[in-house]
Structures are given as C-alpha cells and as structure tokens.
A and B are shown apart, each in its own frame.
Chain A
Amino acid sequence: MEPLIKTEGLYRYYGKHCAVQNLSFELYPGEVLGLLGPNGAGKSSSLRMIAGNLAPSAGKIWLDGVDLQANPLQAKRVLGYLPENPPLYPELTVDEYLSYCARLHCIPGCAVDEAVSGAKDRCGLDDVGQRLIGNLSKGYQQRVGIAQAIVHDPTVVILDEPTVGLDPIQIREIRSLICDLGRERSVILSTHILPEVQATCSRVLILHQGEQAYVASLKDDAPQVSDCFLIRLAQPPEQASFAAMPGISHADQLACGHYRLHLESADVHSASKLAEQLVQAGWGLEGLAPEQPGLEQIFVRITTGEHGS
C-alpha cells in the first residue's frame, strides 16, 4: 500500500537556528499520527512544511505519492490544512467562507453547496451558516477552521492544535470527528494535550528540539512488556527482603501494603514469574498489575532529559 504522507530527511533552518532536523516518517490510510512536543519543538514548522506553506531547507515530501516540491498543485489537491490560527475572514458568513474554500480547492460549482453542507454537518455548524464569522465564539471559529480543512473531502488532513479554545463537549465531538476522519484518510494532528493523543491517535511522534525523539504505535494489539509492577500484599515484609529476591532491582513503598517493583530485565513472561515468586514467599499477594510507562512519563523523560522514573 502506498503511504499517503511520506517525508524523508526534512530539515528547516531559520537563519542559523535549526527548527526541524531529519524528520522522516510514513503515514498510511487509516492512521492518525499525533505530533507531540513542548513549545518550540518544531511541530508547527513541520506541519507547515507538509502543508506546503513553508519550503523545507532540505528533504522531500510526498502527498499521496506526488512530490510536493516538484508538483505542488497536484499534491495540494488531496490536502486539507488547519493552521495554528484558523485562516478566517471575519467579514464573511460561515456559508460564504466555506463555499469560497470549496471553490479554491477546485470543487466544481454545482457540487459546492453539497460540500459546504456536508462539512457544516460534520463540524456541527448547521445553525450558524448565516452568521458572520467575526461574531462567532472562539470554539465555533475553531470548528469553522476544521470545516474549512475537510470541505473538499481531502485524503490527507493536517490539523495544528485543533481543540484549542473548545469546551469539553466540543473537544469530545472533535475527537470523534478526528477518529472518524482517520478511518480512511491520513490525519496528522499536533497538540500539547497528552490524553488527546491517547484518545485519537494510532501513532505518536514526539519532537524535541526539532528532532524526532520517539515514535511508537498506540494500538492495543502489541504485546506489552513492562519492567515495572504495582503489587498489593496482605502481609508486607521488610522493605529489604524485596531486594534479596532474584530479578528485582529495587522496590518503592507507595502506601501500606502497596509497592512498586522494578525488575532488572523484562520479557513477556515476567508477570507470571513474579507472581510465582511472590506467592512462594507467602506474603499474601492480593494484586499485581504491570505498570505501563504512560505517554506522559515518556514525554517528560524525553523533554527534560531525565532517564528512568
């Protein structure tokens, strides 16, 4: 299968400052990529390059197999882009604005009305079609921005912080819209909000100082290996006796009877082995759960340069 978005060795310099370095990834139809990173990590620059708003200093981008630098007009046909600040004209009504966007994206005149009402429907804008964009609240303006990005039914959708300024209900609606879009299209979204990535994305890419620091799939079917377990014991022993057990590097007491155990090494069987050990020791094992390194821990570890937690 052809990737819908492919980038290879993207670099972007602002003067001597390198905003993005060596960004390479591929995104297939049906995938939602979450771009994470602290402020100034190069998220927006990366997205602007992929959306054709910024020329990369080096590297190549293909959208649906078409080289964006060599053939920009054809490549941009499949693209829908919501920049950080939604590109809205406050003096137009929502309907006027969306039909202008549809026409800009080469929708033939007879199909414009249909495209506009489809986009309004998906973004919950049915009631505000006749209102001026300048008079709408921030949340509605953000939704008009998203509607603008999907009005021409693009296969590649790029959303730069799509849920900024929305209330919790709207955030849920937009997340389900993104999941919906991600079924047959490729979606990239950037955000600061970690739960948003966990809720909507199938893959995550963490940028740190312009570099690709972490890439992982968030799909649940991968076997999970953890070197960290939370346990609950009925008859807790002395803290030191954990260290005496083979395979355990150290233990932290969280509360009375609750411990976090760190193993020296981990594989898919480590949970059952640990359970056996604990039962044999006769401490009254009541609970054992692998602790996944959450996205937040990974994020903090990468962005602050800390190792282990």
Chain B
Amino acid sequence: MILTIAARELRSLFLSPLAWSLLAVMQFILAWLFLVQIESFTLLQPRLTGMEDAPGLTDLIIVPLFGNVALITLLVIPLLSMRLISEELRSGTFSLLLSAPVSMSRIVLGKYLGLLGMLGTVLLISMLMALSLLAGGVLDFGRLAACLLGLCLILAASAAIGLYISTLTSQPAVAAVGGYGLLLFLWLINLAAGADGKGSALFAWIAMPTHFDRLLSGLVRSSDLVYFMLCIAICLVFAVHRLDSLRTRP
C-alpha cells in the first residue's frame, strides 16, 4: 500500500515538467560549481605536491560539491513537498485516500517515500559527478561514503520537514513559503552561536549544518545520526497527527 502511493507520487512527479526542469537546472548549476572546483584544484596542484599530508581530490572537490548539493536541494525541496499534501487537499483528491482502507501513517509514509525517490535521483547525479573524478585520480572512499551518508540524511530530514509543513495548509504556495522559512531557519540558527559559543550550544545542536559538516569532514558520530533520525521521526509523526485532526477539525 505504501509503495502504491509512493509509486503514484513519483509517476505524477515525473509526468509533470516540474521534476525534469528542477533536475535540469540543478544539474546545470552543480556542473558549473563542479568545474569551478576542478579548475581551482588544478591551479593549486603544483603547491600541493610539495606539501606533506596534502588535501586530496575528495577534500577539495567532493566536500564542497556535496555542500552545494545540500544547499541547492534545500531550495528545491519545498517546491516538491508542497505538492504532496497541500495540493491534494486543495484539489480534493485527498478524499480518495481518506475513503480508501489505508491508515494515515501509511499515507504519510507513502508520500514521504515518493519524495525520497525523487531526491534519490538528485543524489544519484551528484554521486556520478563525484565518481567521474576516478577517470583522472584516486578518491578516499571512506570519506566519500561519509559525505554520501550526510547528504542522504540531510535530504531525508529536509523532506520530512517539507512534508509536515505541507499538511498544515491547503495552499501550496503557503506550504512552500513555510518550508523555506523553517529549512532556512534550521540552516542559519547557529549564527546565533556567536564566537564564544557560551549558552548557545542548544542553537548549535538544533542547526542542521553542525551535524552535516561533521559528516562531510568524514566524522560519523551516532549523535549526529540520531539528530537526523529524530528530525525525520518527529516530522512524520506530527504529519500523521495533523492529518488525523483534519477529519475532526471543527
């Protein structure tokens, strides 16, 4: 049942020009940034050869590339997630799911998996870009795996947030604005951590980049994994409750 809903979601997404245009624009921008990174690497290369323990391809190209992927997907996710539930509430198609023998949690999981499927293609194209470096160099695969894990988690967490915001309103545009607001806030909140870091450990912990950056640097800590998992679980549970309460709303 979950897969049926997810498959319908993906199919509708790829039947509309939205998914293709988003992927095309993202790929263009990421390719541009990727080439810029490669160029700066080739300029640095003569100096790096003289250094001991010099940063390699993975440090200088893949880490910034994945950072950019995360940032650009952040701008794309609300556009995709607003369709998930807001648009169905507005067009009335949600009643198809409500009158079918499907529990609310399966509806939410199905929708979520559909969105993850779409983000999987984003992950795939950035992965292929990274692997294309193998044609002329060597990569640190351990580091690459950590980066990939970080990217997966941050995309999955952002998707869950977008899905929850989408359940709050039947206006897709409002859902998109809300999604942008919350995601940007979670990216920027650690600016309040300031230089001394006193009393702002909480803000630093709430901020997504704190955890993402550690994964990008190759450090896989269970507390960071728990942070993302918690974020996903909370948003999905909230979404289920929110949809349940839609039926009883006075």
CB distance from A1 to the nearest CB of B (A): 24
Across-interface contacts of B94 in A (CB, < 8 A): 87
Cβ contact within 8 Å between B12 and A92 = yes
Residues 1 to 41 of chain B near chain A (Cβ within 8 Å)? 1, 4-5, 8, 11-12, 15-16
Q: How far is the CA of A87 from the CA of B4 in the complex (A)?
A: 17
B residues 158-197 touching A (CB-CB < 8 Å): none
Most buried by A among B8, B97, B99, B250: B99
Instruction: Report the minimal beta-carbon distance from A51 to chain B, rounded to whole angstroms.
Output: 5
From the candidates A55, A74, A91, A148, name the one contacting B101 in the complex (CB within 8 A): A74
> How far is A48 from B12 in the complex, measured between Cα atoms in Å?
26
Q: Is A77 an interface residue (CB 8 A)?
A: yes
Question: Cβ of B102 and Cβ of A104 under 8 Å apart?
Answer: yes
Question: Within the assembled complex, what's the spacing in Å between the Cα atoms of A52 and B211?
Answer: 42
Q: Give chain B residues whose Cβ lies under 8 Å from the Cβ of A101.
A: 96, 100
Contact mask B209-250 → A, CB, 8 Å, 1/0? 000000000000000000000000000000000000001101
Decide if A103 is an interface residue (CB 8 Å cutoff): yes
Complex contacts, B248 vs chain A, CB 8 Å: 55
- Whether B95 and A91, one on each chain, are in contact in the complex, defined by CB atoms closer than 8 angstroms, is no
Proximity bits, A38-64, B CB within 8 Å = 1, else 0: 000000000010011111010000000
B81-102 CB mask vs A (1 if < 8 Å, else 0) is 0000000000111111111111
Query: A residues within 8 A CB of B96?
Result: 87, 101, 104, 148
A73 within 8 A of B: yes
State in angstroms the CA–CA spacing of A197 and B12 once bound together. 38
Interface size class on chain B is 20 to 34
Query: Does B45 lie at the interface of the complex (its beta carbon under 8 Å from any beta carbon of A)?
Result: no
Is A113 among interface residues, defined by CB-CB distance under 8 A? no
Docked Cα-Cα span, A88 to B91, in Å, equals: 9
User: Known interface pairs A83-B92, A100-B4. Does A89 touch B99 (Cβ–Cβ under 8 Å)?
Assistant: no
Count the A residues whose beta carbon is within 8 Å of the partner chain — how many? 35
In the complex the two chains form, what is the Cα distance from A84 to B95 in whole Å? Answer: 10
The answer to whether A53 touches B15, judged by C-beta atoms less than 8 angstroms apart, is: no
A106 touching B247 by the CB < 8 A rule?
no
Within 8 Å of chain B (Cβ to Cβ): is A79?
yes
Contact A52:B4 (CB < 8 A) given known A14-B250, A83-B92, A87-B93: no
- Report the nearest A residue to B100, measured CB to CB: A104
- Chain A residues with Cβ below 8 Å from B98 are 51-53
Chain A residues with CB under 8 A of B102:
73, 104
Minimum-distance CB pairs A-B, first 4: A87-B96, A81-B99, A55-B248, A85-B92
Residues of B near any A CB (own CB < 8 A): 1, 4-5, 8, 11-12, 15-16, 91-103, 247-248, 250
Given contacts A15-B250, A80-B99, A100-B8, 20 further A-B contacts (CB under 8 A): A53-B95, A53-B98, A53-B247, A57-B250, A76-B99, A76-B101, A77-B101, A81-B95, A85-B91, A87-B92, A87-B94, A89-B8, A91-B12, A92-B11, A103-B4, A104-B5, A104-B96, A104-B97, A104-B102, A105-B100
